[in-house]
Amino acid sequence: MNILVTGGAGYIGSNTCVALLEAGHTVIVADNLCNSKNDAIEKIMQITNKEVIFYQIDVNDVVAVDTIFSNHEIGGVIHFAGLKAVGESVEKPLEYYYNNILSTMVLTKTCQKYGVNRFVFSSSATVYGDNKVPFVETMDLLPSTNPYGETKAISERILTDIAKANPAFSVSILRYFNPIGAHESGLIGEASNGIPNNLMPYVTQVAKGIREKLRVFGNDYPTIDGTGVRDYIHVLDLAEGHVAALDNLTEGAHIYNLGTGQGTSVLELVKAFEEANGIEVPYEIVDRRPGDIASCYADASKAKQELGWTAKRNIISMCRDAWRFEKNFKE
C-alpha cells in the first residue's frame, strides 16, 4: 500500500519508514525539514535498500498536499509532522496551534476529497496530564499545562469527530510514552542539536563529553528513589506499533497507548546506561523542573489485545542503541 508519512524525516517518522518498507509498503514522505535533515531519507534507503518518494513541503500547504494525493494513489496516512518542544510551545503558542492543528485539518480534508479513509495519528501521553498511573485510554483527559499538549488533545478530538460523522473513516490515535533509542544500524535516531530538553539525549551528550554532568530534576517525588518515573519505549518498538496500527485499522476512532507498561526512574535509567555502555554518567540533583509530574507509565493492554503489539526491547537495548547513534552523530 502507498503510505503518506508526514514528518517522515524526523526521529520517529524515519524509524517508522524503515518498518513500513520492511513490511512491504511503499513510502511517500512529506516533510519541510524544519526539525530534520534530508539525509534521514538517504539513510532510510540505505538501511532498507528500497526507494522513498520524498516531497519537501509544508503539510499546512493545501495545494502541495493535494499534489501528492493527485500524483499517487494514497492508501493511508501516518501523520507525524508537528512541533514537539513543550517549553517552546509556551513561548510560541500560536506557532504550535497553527502548525499542529491546521496540519491535521489539511490532511483529513484532503483525505476526504480523495476518499482516503485510513489515518494514523501521533498523539502523546502528555494528554493524560497528572492522572493516576498507569494511564488507561478510557481516562478523562486533564487540561494540559502547555499548548503542545493541547494541540494533541484538540487533534484527537477533531479526528474522533470526523470518524463519528463519516463511518467509513478509520483512525488510530497513538499515544506515545517516552520514545528513546535509535535504529540498531546507528544511522537514524534523535538528532540532538543544541541543549537537549529530554533526558536520554542529555545523558548521551554527557557520555560524549559535550556536557559536564546530568542535572537530575528533583529527588523528592513519591517514587522508588525520589526521581521522576517514565515509561521509556524503544523507537523501533514504537515504529512496529505503527505498522500494527495500520494493519489493524477498523472503522471509527481507536485510541491506543504505545508504551511498555513499565516505569523507570531517572537514576535507574542512568544506571542502565552505565551498565549497557560501560561509561560513567556524572550527575547532580537539582530542583524539580516546573510542570513535571512524578510518574507516567502506560497500561499497554489494549494495544496488545487489539493490535497484537507489545514492546519487545528492554531498557538496556534502548541505552545501547541511543549511545551508538550519538557516537556516530555529527551536526
Binding site for ligand NAD (CB under 6 A): 7, 9-13, 30-36, 58-60, 80-84, 99, 103, 122, 124, 176, 179
**Residue matched to cell numbers 552523530:** 329
Q: Taking CB under 6 A as the rule, does residue 127 contact ligand WQD?
A: no
Residue 35 interacting entry, from ligand NAD, ligand WQD, none, C-beta within 5 to 8 Å by type: ligand NAD
Please state the closest distance from residue 324 (CB atom) to ligand NAD, in A: 18
Q: Which of 11, 148, 202, 232 is catalytic?
A: 148
Residue 103 interacting entry, from ligand WQD, ligand NAD, none, C-beta within 5 to 8 Å by type: ligand NAD
- The three-state secondary structure class of 214 is strand
Of 13 and 228, which has the nearer Cβ to ligand NAD?
13
Stretch that binds ligand WQD, among 51-59, 196-204, 241-249, 256-264 (CB under 6 A): 196-204
Give the residue closest to ligand WQD by C-beta. 228
Are 89 and 14 within 8 A, CB to CB? no
Which 42-101 residues touch ligand WQD, going by CB under 6 A? 84, 86
Cell numbers that stand for 285 in this block: 540533583
Which 154-183 residues touch ligand WQD, going by CB under 6 A? 178
**Distance from C-alpha of 4 to C-alpha of 6, rounded to nearest angstrom:** 6
**Distance from C-alpha of 299 to C-alpha of 292, rounded to nearest angstrom:** 20
Cell numbers that stand for 239 in this block: 515504529
222 exposure class (CB count in 10 Å sphere: 0-12, 13-18, 19+): exposed
Are 183 and 321 within 8 A, CB to CB? yes
Please state the closest distance from residue 321 (CB atom) to ligand WQD, in A: 16
Of 41 and 207, which has the nearer Cβ to ligand NAD?
41
Q: Considering all CA atoms of the chain, what is the largest pairwise distance in Å, rounded to the nearest integer?
A: 56
Are 257 and 135 within 8 A, CB to CB? yes
Contacts of residue 139, Cβ cutoff 8 Å, sequence gap at least 6: 128, 131
Cβ neighbours of 284 (radius 10 Å): 9
Please state the closest distance from residue 176 (CB atom) to ligand WQD, in A: 7
Give the residue closest to ligand NAD by C-beta. 10
Residue 134 interacting entry, from ligand NAD, ligand WQD, none, C-beta within 5 to 8 Å by type: none
Are 142 and 151 within 8 A, CB to CB? no
Of 8 and 149, which has the nearer Cβ to ligand WQD?
149
Among 182, 216, 246, 267, indicate the residue that binds ligand WQD (CB under 6 A). Answer: 216
Residue 199 interacting entry, from ligand NAD, ligand WQD, none, C-beta within 5 to 8 Å by type: ligand WQD
Please state the closest distance from residue 297 (CB atom) to ligand NAD, in A: 14
Please state the closest distance from residue 64 (CB atom) to ligand WQD, in A: 26
C-alpha atoms less than 13 angstroms from C-alpha of 95 in its C-beta half-sphere? 12
Q: Could you confirm whether 232 is annotated as catalytic?
A: no
Per the DSSP assignment, residues forming a β-bridge with 78 are 5, 120
Give which of 319, 262, 258, 322 is closest to 296, Cα–Cα: 262
The 8-class DSSP code of residue 255 comes to E
Q: Which residues are catalytic?
A: 148
The residue ranges that bind ligand WQD (CB under 6 A) are 84, 86, 124, 126, 178, 197-199, 202, 214-217, 228, 230, 266, 289, 292, 296
